[in-house]
Structure 1
Amino acid sequence: MIVLPDDVDLPDRDAVLSQAIPFDRARWIRLLPDSTWWPTALEECPDVGRWPRVDRRAVFRIASQADTAEGRRRLLVAALVWGTGTKAQSVNRRARVFEHSSPADIDARLGEALDVLRARGAADAYWAFNNNQRVPYLGPAFFTKVLYFAGHDRAPASHHPVILDSVVSRALKANDAVDINWPENGWTTDQYRLYLDGVHEYAQARGVLPDQVEAALFSQGKQLP
C-alpha cells in the first residue's frame, strides 16, 4: 500500500496542464524515421527564450488524434519531446527507440498497447508495454507518459494512467510512501498497480485529479538531492 502525507502541496489543474518543456525541433527531426512522424501541432508552441516550449495541454491535443497509426506515431514523438528537454545526449538517448525497431513494428506494438489501455485499463497496458508489446528503449518512465496522454482524460477503467518515473519515485521514497526496496526505475506491473491505487485514493480524498498528485510528486522529486 502507498500512503501519502495529508499535506502534500497540490497544484491546480491549470498549472499541471501548463507544465512546459523546451525542445529542439531540428535535432528531433533528424532522428525520426521521416518528417511525417513530427507532430505539426508542435509548430504552434510558443518560443520562450531560445527554444519553443511544449506543455501538457498541447500533448493532450495531439493525443486526441491518436486513433490512427499516424496519430499514434505523433503521440509517441510528442510524449518523448515533452519528457526530454533540449540536451543533445538526452534527445539522442530517447531517439534510440527509432533506431532499433522498424516503423511497422512500432506501429503494431503501440497500437496493441493502446488497445489494451482502452479495453482493460492502465495496469494491463503497462504490462503489455513491459512484455509482449515492448518497444526497445521505450522504458516505463516514457511509456507511462504515452499511456497518460492517451488515456488520463478518457480512461474507461477505474484508474487513469499516471506517469511514473525516477523523479516521482524519489518523492515517494522521501515521503515514506514506499519501502526502501522500491526501485527508481524498472517497476513491475504490481508496483505500478500499487502506485495507481495510492495516487487515485489520495486524489479522491483531496478532491483532485490523479495527475495533480503526480505533478506534486514530480515537483518534490526535482527538489531532492
Structure 2
Amino acid sequence: MIVDSDRWKEALAERGLPPLQGMLAEGGRVSVSRKDIFDLGEKTLDSENALQLLYYSLAWGLGTRASRLHQRLDGLAKNPQKAEKLLVDAWTSVKREAPVKEAYGTLIFDRGRARISWLGPAFATKFLYFAQGNEADARHLILDQVVAKNLRPDAWPGSPTAAWFPEIYERYCNLLSAWAKEASEKLCNSREVSADEIEMTLFKRHKWMTQGEQVSAG
C-alpha cells in the first residue's frame, strides 16, 4: 500500500502527537506491506511501539487517499494516554492468546462502539491482526464493511455491515478459521491455508464483483 507520509507527519505534528518512526518517517510516498507491519508486532510491547503499530495499521488501511485521517487522529489526540493504554492492553491480550472476543472487547464496547473515537471495528481489527506479529496461524482477522458485505450472500445472511459485537467478531474469526482448515484438507494438506488468506479473498471479491458489474454495464 502506498502511503503519503508527509501528510501523516504534518497531521501528527498539528495535534502534538508522537511522530512517525521507521520508513514512514523518511517522507514522501512510501510503500508499506503487511510484512512491514507484522514486523512492528514483534517489537517490545510498550506504549510507544503500540502507537507506531496503530499508525502503520491505519496508514496501510487508509492508503494514499487517507479518508478522514484528521478525524481519526483527533480521536487519538483527545486523550493520548487513555488511547495508548487501550492499545497496550489490546496488544497484550493478543500476545497472551486471550479469547478473540476479549482482545476485541478491549477496543470495542459490547454494542460495537469504539472505545477510541474513530477507531471502530474495521481499524481495531487491523490493529489486532498486525499485533499478532509474524504468526503462521492468524487468529485475529480483519473485518470491515467490504468483507462483511461479501460474506452475506453465501454464509452470513442478515449480518451487520458496520458495527460488530465481540461475540459476532469471534464467530466471524472462527468461521474463517474453519474454512481455512477445510481448504487445507481439500489440498490433501500439501500446504496450510491460513484464515487471513480467506479474508483477503473475500476482500478481493469486491474488486472482482465491481469489475463484473462494470463489464455488464458496458
Alignment length (residue pairs): 196
Question: Which residue does the alignment assign to 2:190?
Answer: none
Question: Which residue does the alignment assign to 1:60?
Answer: 38
Matched, 1:109 2:90: no
Question: Which residue does the alignment assign to 1:168?
Answer: 147
User: Match for 2:195 among 198, 207, 210?
Assistant: 210
Other structure's SS at 1:224 match: helix
Cα distance between partner residues in 1 of 2:33 and 2:68: 18
Amino acid in the other structure paired with 1:137: W
Cα distance between partner residues in 2 of 1:213 and 1:54: 21
User: Structure 1 144/27 Cα, relative in aligned 2: closer, same or farther at 3 Å?
Assistant: same
Matched, 1:23 2:6: no
User: Structure 1 88/56 Cα, relative in aligned 2: closer, same or farther at 3 Å?
Assistant: closer
Deviation for aligned residue 1:43:
5.0
Matched, 1:41 2:23: yes
User: Structure 1 201/62 Cα, relative in aligned 2: closer, same or farther at 3 Å?
Assistant: same
Contact conserved, 2:125 with 2:142, CA < 8 A, in 1?
yes
User: Structure 1 95/224 Cα, relative in aligned 2: closer, same or farther at 3 Å?
Assistant: farther
* Structure 2 residues without counterparts, runs of 5 or longer: 185-192, 211-218
Question: Which residue does the alignment assign to 2:204?
Answer: 219
Other structure's SS at 2:156 match: coil
User: Match for 2:105 among 114, 120, 127?
Assistant: 127
Cα distance between partner residues in 2 of 1:188 and 1:131: 8
User: Structure 1 75/88 Cα, relative in aligned 2: closer, same or farther at 3 Å?
Assistant: closer
Normalised TM-score (structure 2): 0.80
Contact conserved, 2:126 with 2:141, CA < 8 A, in 1?
yes
* Structure 1 residues without counterparts, runs of 5 or longer: 1-20
Matched, 1:187 2:164: yes
Other structure's SS at 1:95 match: helix
User: Structure 1 88/115 Cα, relative in aligned 2: closer, same or farther at 3 Å?
Assistant: closer
Amino acid in the other structure paired with 1:134: R
Alignment identity in percent?
A: 29
Q: Which has the higher contact order (CA 8 A, sep 6+)?
A: 1
Amino acid in the other structure paired with 1:31: A
Amino acid in the other structure paired with 2:179: Y
Amino acid in the other structure paired with 1:25: S
